[in-house]
Homo-oligomer: A and B are copies of this chain.
């Protein structure tokens, strides 16, 4: 089965002995990360929970979120079972299945655990807000870190354990692990994305526009669904996405290293770098503290600390392993990429920054001009991320060949825990704000939660930059690994079969996102109708005397989100299979290299256009251009609505798309080699 050269490693037992050492290292660091996550969970959960009303709401959100993840698990389970059976037909089928199921289960566990702590951290953050920003900020960060460290913990432990049973020559089996993580991520991203925005858009449309209720008003029957959405989308979905990037990058790096077949040194380097990331991320937690206005600064400080500490350890590892110092170039490229993507997104989508102010200004001309400027800004934001990724690829390649690209990707993704911590901060503070609003907490507390909520919006947007860039880098690494797995030495774009593949690849992200956008449009409409129905039939909802039927609203989104995700899922899995079988492996290579950049720019465009329009609305709400309730504000709300599925559904789901397509392509390599028509 294995296609990798392994001249230097003839002795299976010898390999094992050399490698055991680093398996144990990465295993140990995985355990450390998981332990940190457990401690963070324990500390978070031991904080004060607030009064009964707060608990009631938090409980509703928690149970809605769990209900969704449980039902989603059933759908995913069905796919996993079918695919596991299919994989048995492959050579090494059992081993692949073990890897695959491990990947799927750890991914879901990450999402599940992270989200379960997040839905408990929200109320504690709201409560902590009574004591000021500092307390609330750290509670949310701590709650978020549970997800962050669980991700790298599960990733390192899973990989290290699997490696115990593999040799360099059959390491391609690991791609099963990557595919398991990808599959779950695709579901979590797509399902969660559709869920969160259907609920959000639906709640806003009818709540804010028709009924004139403020955000998070408990009289809005869709309000709980909206808060559930934050958790299943921004928290669970994002966790699965970044977990997947983390895992598949490591797998791709190992595959590429094995393909080079020179030594265990090349093979162990990525795992050492990932381990260094654990230390860096733990240290960064100390810097992720804020007292007030400096909250954004704290985020930069946290990431910078993670980068510096990780880089120092990376340097020690590089010299210790005897690599030339030039190997630090890919490492540093990867690490810098993380903070650059963060900063670029911050500039283009940050409230009060020039691009956002321009959109707010355009809102004076109405919803149309607001959206035109929003889309234009989104298009513009693609420039620097792509150019930086290109530079990172070229520098890394110049320094250490294709292996350098894998190293850069690994270094970048070694910051996963820190970034995911900052990201999960978003839905926690968002929910905390919701709880504070719904339970009429005092104004000074509300000011704290509102501030954190706004910051959370920024972190959700900026970490998306990392997730999108990470996915692109990781998919590029998979592309290199793909060529190795299929013994392809050249994918010649001048060959029209390859050209055909490139066209189909560029097309796929557009079609894929069209289903997602449509699903949000449709489901939001159902939500609107349900809210209207409740308000009409259950008198007293608007006066606050009757409690709306939150559960039913939650149910509608749950059912429809799960229904809507089937077509895009199948599309993502089947496209590479059909292209690989009908047009052959080189066309499949074309598909990958056509898809990755197309998806990268489309995701950046969508995510950033959405975030910028969201923040333009928020900027107006601070009193600019007429403030809340003005015509400009109404126009900005239209932009925000358009931006919602762009930034939280279609855009991020593309990350999962490109990784699933890439892993399927590698996983089924033997099938394509044996049965392709061309």
Contact = CB atoms under 8 A, between A and B. Distances in A.
Interface in A505-522: 505-507, 510-511, 513-514, 517-518, 520-521
A281 interface: no
A433 B58 CA distance: 59
Q: Which range holds the interface residue count of chain A?
A: 35 or more
A417 interface: no
Contacts of A387: 504, 507
Contacts of A645: 372
A379 B517 contact: yes
Interface stretch (A261-269, A621-629, A634-642): A634-642
A642 B371 contact: yes
Given A367-B367, A503-B389, A506-B506, A496 B597 contact: no
Contacts of A191: none
B393 A499 contact: yes
B368 A637 contact: yes
A405 interface: yes
A667 interface: no
Contacts of A394: 496-497, 500
Nearest to A500: B390
Given A494-B480, A500-B393, A589-B493, A601 B510 contact: yes
A386 interface: yes
Q: What copy number does this chain have within its complex?
A: 2
A328 B244 CA distance: 49
A206 to B, nearest CB: 9
B504 A386 contact: yes
Interface stretch (A71-79, A99-107, A442-450, A484-492): A484-492
A37 interface: no
Interface string A440-472: 000000000000000000000000000000000
A384 to B, nearest CB: 10
A380 B518 CA distance: 9
B520 A372 contact: yes
B503 A494 contact: no
A597 B503 contact: yes
A201 B502 contact: no
Given A372-B641, A393-B500, 18 more contacts: A367-B367, A368-B639, A368-B642, A376-B514, A379-B514, A380-B518, A382-B514, A383-B511, A389-B503, A390-B503, A394-B496, A405-B496, A483-B494, A490-B492, A499-B593, A502-B597, A506-B506, A506-B598
